Chains A and B, each alone.
Chain A
Amino acid sequence: VLVLSRKSNESIVINGEIVVTVLEVGRNGQVRLGIEAPRHYQIYRHELLLEIQRENRDALSSAEFDNVASARIPPQAN
């Protein structure tokens, strides 16, 4: 792991096109980051990605249940 020390309003640059700036370091240990990156980069909180991955895996394992072969969810009435 590359470890860099940065203070408020200092930045790092990744690959010449992503700039991560430390905006604020709170007393409670929370750090606010500003990220400038081209639009095609998908940037998420890590725990959100892990939650989506877990949900995807749950979707896979649940597909094997025998009693839901049709998985019929009728359309809602208008």
Chain B
Amino acid sequence: MLTATKEESVAVVRVQTLKHGLIDLAEECRITFATPLLGFEHLKSFYIYQPTPGPTYWMQSVEQPRVAFCLLAPFQAGLDPQIVIEPGDVSDIAASGTADIQLFTLVVLDRDPSLHRTNLRAPILVGRTSRLAKQVVLSDQRLAIKFFLRDLKVLEV
């Protein structure tokens, strides 16, 4: 159940999340998949939010409160995968091209944190302006489908 309230000039929506209970999010956190996430063709709308600052985000389904994914912003995490996105790949979600795109990768969490991994081969692209999203499967075979995050030189702060 979503309840919209006005707070100053920013539209805020109360969202039931899988991981963080009932939280208030700006309506602009909502994204719509222009082409569905592979294997989740029945789900279109999600909220992307950050419980704490850092490179991880959560993507919460609007249609199904039990569906949520952990996302990584790989560049923010210190990774520099050679991900090449062509303007033609994003013309349906970002009219002004790749500069208007946010890139996330899906994270597979494990009970053993050293086994957390992310899929660099099939990132999720979000148009900052359009709020439309898609998952692309890149042809570069050097991008790991299972990239273990222990391979990041993690700095505990």
Contacts and interface: CB of A to CB of B under 8 A. Distances in A.
B29 interface: no
A73 B122 contact: no
B90 to A, nearest CB: 11
Contact of B54 (A44, A56, A68, A74): A74
Q: Give the size category of B's interface with A.
A: 35 or more
B72 interface: yes
B113 A68 contact: yes
A73 B108 contact: no
Q: Give the size category of A's interface with B.
A: 20 to 34
A55 interface: yes
Given A55-B122, A59-B69, A63-B68, A75 B76 contact: yes
Contact of A75 (B54, B58, B107, B146): B54
Interface of A: 39-40, 42, 44, 48-49, 51-60, 62-65, 67-78
20 contacts: A48-B137, A54-B39, A56-B37, A56-B40, A56-B122, A62-B107, A63-B69, A63-B70, A65-B110, A65-B111, A70-B51, A71-B58, A72-B54, A73-B54, A73-B56, A73-B154, A75-B55, A75-B76, A76-B77, A78-B78
